[in-house]
Amino acid sequence: MMENIFILPGNEQELFNRYLDNNEYGPLKERLELVRKALSNKLSPDERNKHGLNVGVHELSMERKELERKIFQMALKSFAERVCDEQRALCEQGFWQAPCGKEAEYISSAPVPDLVTDVKQYKTICRWWEKLSDTRRLKVAAMFANELGPIYGHDTETLERIYSRWFLLSLDGKQRIYHSWTTNEKQTSLYHTKARE
């Protein structure tokens, strides 16, 4: 299962493309496109009249700026709402995983949602985790007990706990585990290859 990721937009257009709800804000985008066409004289006089754009350049420029501002705000609001919903879910998960009486501590220590800047690397890490066998996942957990919790057995409950703890880790924690584990695997593989020679 691939996690729901939040890609930190690199620019305004990327913010719009990823987070602006076209169903809800499509009319604003259409109006902005019409205003831009009117400003660059790409609308016929009939089209300008039809859409109420038969005004001066100053009025069109002001409307364009206002529409751009609204669209930016709506995209940013959508992004913030999704991040807040994810934060709420992480806090709730911490609450349900907390021992009785420690709920507040677990909620307050819930990680912030991952804001990804390198999507390719993030997907590589997620695929690596998903493809690990149960045995290898237990080995990773044993090596990173501070992050993934202690290993008391090889039962389904332990594996589920490890899996849940992985999803609570910050992006930095996941990257550190991935890089440390894969580097260690490469070195071990190289050592075994040289030993056979």
Looking at residue 107, its pLDDT comes to 83
Looking at residue 187, its pLDDT comes to 59
First to last CA, the chain: 40
Q: What is the mean pLDDT of residues 160-178?
A: 87
Task: State how far the Cα of 174 lies from the Cα of 168, in Å rounded to an integer.
Answer: 10
Residue 86, judged by CB atoms within 10 A of its CB (0-12, 13-18, 19+), counts as: middle
Looking at residue 193, its pLDDT comes to 45
Task: State how far the Cα of 23 lies from the Cα of 78, in Å rounded to an integer.
Answer: 13
The closest alpha carbon to 60, from 79, 95, 32, belongs to 32
Looking at residue 150, its pLDDT comes to 82
For the segment 39-48, what is each residue's pLDDT rounded down to a tens digit? 999 999 999 9
Give the pTM. 0.64
Q: Where are the domains of the chain?
A: 6-108, 118-196
Going through the chain in order, the beta strands assigned E by DSSP cover 6-7, 115-116
